[in-house]
Structure 1
C-alpha cells in the first residue's frame, strides 16, 4: 500500500521563510511598526560591549517583544523558545536566537523606552482611526 511520505530528516533543505509568513501575519505588522519608530529618541539603550559578543539591536529585540505580547508569550523563556521553533519569529528575528537571559536584561534595562514605544504605537493607531 502507498502512503504519503514526508521529507528525509537527514537531508539538507533550502527554505524560503518569506513564503511561510503570510501577508496578514502579526510578525509583519511588528516588523513594519518598529522599523518606523525613532528608536534613538525613545531611549533604547544600544550599549556596545568592550569585550565579548556584540549586542543585539534594540529594534530586533523590540520586534520580538511586540510579537510576544500579541501572541501571549510573556516570559523570556517562551520568547527564547519561539526564536528556535516558530517560523514567524525566526523570520522576524532574521534567524537570531537571543538567550532568555539577554531577553530579560533587555526588558529590564529598557522599561521606560518600552512605555514610550507603546504610547507611540497607540498614537499611530489613533491617527489611522483604528482605535478611539
Structure 2
C-alpha cells in the first residue's frame, strides 16, 4: 500500500494550463521540492518512510516535510494555518 501523495504539479487542469505554470521559476517552493526529493529520508532517521501494509495509508513524510519547511520560510507556524494555506495558496498544493 502506498502513501497518500499530493497533486502532481504537471497534471493538466480543465483549462489547457498546467499547475506548474502558476508557480514562478524563482519561487522558493521549487527549491524546497527539489531539495526534499533529493534526500534519503530513511537514512536520515524518518521512521515511516515505508508505508504499512495494512490500514489506511498515511501521508508521505516527504510531503509533510515540504509543508513544514514552507511554513517555516513563510512564518506560518500553526498547523491550522498551514492547512488553510494548502486550500488558499496554489503554490502549496
TM range (shorter): 0.7 to 0.9
CA shift, 1:27, in A, is: 0.7
Aligned residues: 78
What does the per-residue CA deviation read over 1:83-129, in whole Å, with 9 as the maximum and x for residues that have no partner? 11111001xxxxxxxxxxxxxxxxxxxxxxxxxxxxxxxxxxxxxxx
CA shift, 1:49, in A, is: 6.6
SS at match of 2:43: helix
Please report the TM-score for the alignment, with normalisation by the length of structure 2.
0.75
Q: Which has the larger radius of gyration?
A: 1
SS at match of 2:76: coil
- Aligned counterpart, 2:24: 22
**Alignment map for 1:1-132 (pairs within 5 Å):** 13-14=14-15, 15-46=17-48, 48=52, 50-51=54-55, 53-90=56-93
CA shift, 1:17, in A, is: 1.1
Name stretches of at least 5 consecutive residues in structure 2 with no aligned partner.
Answer: 1-13
- More RCO (CA 8 Å, sep 6+): 2
* Aligned 8 A contact 1:49 1:55 in 2: no
RMSD, aligned CA? 1.8
4+ residue runs over 4 A deviation: none
